[in-house]
Amino acid sequence: MAELSYRAWQDGDDLTLREIWGDAESAAAGAFRAALAPESEANPWRRTIVAQDQGIPVAAGVVYSTTLHPQRLWAFVEVAKDHRRAGVGATLLTMLRREAEGALAAGLVSTAALRTKVAPETSGAAFAAAMGLSVLQRNRVVEVAPAALKLPAFGEGTEAEASARVQDLATGSVELTDVVGRYYESVNTWDPTGPLSPGAVQRMFLDDLTGAHGALVLRAEPASAFGASVQPSKKGRIEAFAVSYSQGHLPTEDGAPASAASEVFLGVEPKLAHEDAVRAVYDLLALITHQYPVLLELDDSMEALAAVVNPMIEVGAAKVRGTETLVLGE
């Protein structure tokens, strides 16, 4: 193999590289390929480097920032199969790290630490581990079968009691936006977001462009400030929420919906004690899966959701769709 040369990304490189690389080895790698693009200085900051053999691109790497998770930069390297195990990937990553350190020194980014996403037991996972990145998080897409959980009973089981506890909310609700944002912050302390504005939460999870088209919430039992004999005047606070999306919102191995199941983002009020959070997740999940299956995106950091869903996976009442994704970082 002749000595390779390295240069910045150019228009047309994506078409050449995709033809040489063939299919992506995982959904994570396929998503990262879309990040290979010309350099930019802000929103996001990005550097992309191409390795070429006799003028033909054979490998590329990119490092870039995001405003949502600012403590690490995303990085991705891919090398044509016939050029692997020759130090090309390591060279690209070293060059990307130098770019990141230069951007940090220039005040263009707030960190030079890296993270990436891989599928387990792939060449990408082996390369990332060899480069010193360790597992930060595991992500799975899980399909929960219908009628797998026993429906909850609220109070004496009256319609009024059920209506006070389970309600539809508009996705533009201020109350819903608040709890969704704080929940996302709480389950991402391993890669902190910082406080999220209501506008950011809406753009990420709740507006029409996300595909969100409905929300169901489980409320705490309403209580009266004047004792049990007086009708409560306020609704109970939200304990758990389920936001439903149109098909295609969640990632899958081949980029297509994993099934006809509804896609749902399910979370809880972060201030709940663990036992109460698990109960709230169980009750709301039982309600939304009473007749139809749902797809959930599950990170291991979503402890209450994992406590309910993992036992279901073990007994076959829920199934992991596609390949799990690992987030590795420095």
Side-chain-side CA neighbours of 96 within 13 Å: the count stands at 32
On the question of pLDDT at 254 being above 50, the answer is: no
Fold identical between 5-132 and 139-324?
A: yes
The second-level CATH assignment, the architecture, of 5-132 is 3-Layer(aba) Sandwich (3.40)
Side-chain-side CA neighbours of 252 within 13 Å: the count stands at 19
On the question of pLDDT at 113 being above 70, the answer is: yes
Q: What is the CATH number of domain 139-324?
A: 3.40.630.30
Its pTM stands at 0.89
Q: Domain coordinates of the chain in residue numbers?
A: 5-132, 139-324
Task: Check residue 199 and report its DSSP letter.
Answer: H
Nearest to 267 by CA among 178, 146, 138: 178
- DSSP E strands, 177-329: 212-219, 238-245, 262-268, 294-299, 318-329
pLDDT computed for residue 257 by the predictor: 46
> pLDDT tier at 251 (50, 70, 90 boundaries)?
low
Let me know: does 152 contact 162? Beta carbons within 8 Å.
no
On the question of pLDDT at 202 being above 90, the answer is: yes
Integer Cα distance of 177 and 168 in angstroms: 14
**Cα-trace Rg, the chain:** 23
201 — phi, psi (to 5°)?
Answer: -65, -40
Average pLDDT over residues 243-262: 67
Integer Cα distance of 67 and 26 in angstroms: 25
Q: For the segment 134-177, what is each residue's pLDDT rounded down to a tens digit?
A: 999 999 999 999 999 999 998 888 888 889 999 999 999 999 99
pLDDT computed for residue 249 by the predictor: 56
Residues with Cβ < 8 Å from 3, sequence gap 6 or more? none
